[in-house]
């Protein structure tokens, strides 16, 4: 799923930064999951953030990419800063 998210973001001209908790030290992965649970109420990954704002999970991003909404959402999120 992460590779599809990377591809969708790349198609939008984005250069995302990914933190792969499966390949992160266990104490760091635990801290990331704990922070996600605190911020979002759950820790399911991958989760997508744009300019520090939560976009949603991978399925939402991929669905919006298919329908063309992702480009509009990314543009809006960039101007909200």
Over its length of 81 residues, how does the chain's per-residue pLDDT go in tens digits?
A: 788 999 999 999 988 878 877 778 888 888 988 998 998 888 787 888 888 888 998 999 999 999 999 999 999 888 875
- Please report, to the nearest 10 degrees, the dihedral formed by the alpha carbons of residues 39, 24, 31, 53 taken in order: -20
What pLDDT does residue 25 have?
A: 84
Distance, CA of 43 to chain centre: 12
What pLDDT does residue 61 have?
A: 94
Structure tokens belonging to residue 51: 């300019």
What CATH code is carried by the domain that includes residue 57? 3.40.30.10
What pLDDT does residue 81 have?
A: 59
Q: Give me the domain span that covers residue 25.
A: 2-79
- As a whole number of angstroms, the distance between CA 71 and CA 81 comes to 17
What pLDDT does residue 69 have?
A: 96
Please give the backbone phi and psi of residue 55, each rounded to the nearest 5 degrees, phi first: -90, -45
32 to each of 8, 40, 56, 62, 71, how far by Cα in Å?
A: 23, 12, 16, 23, 27
What pLDDT does residue 72 have?
A: 94
Number of domains in the chain: 1
């Amino acid at each position: 799923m992460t590779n599809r998210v990377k591809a969708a973001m790349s198609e939008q001209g984005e250069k995302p930064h990914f933190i792969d908790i499966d390949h992160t030290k266990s104490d760091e992965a635990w801290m990331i999951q704990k922070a996600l649970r605190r911020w979002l109420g759950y820790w399911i990954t991958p989760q997508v953030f744009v300019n520090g704002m939560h976009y949603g999970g991978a399925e939402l991003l991929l669905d919006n990419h298919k329908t063309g909404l992702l480009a509009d959402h990314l543009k809006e999120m960039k101007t909200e800063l």
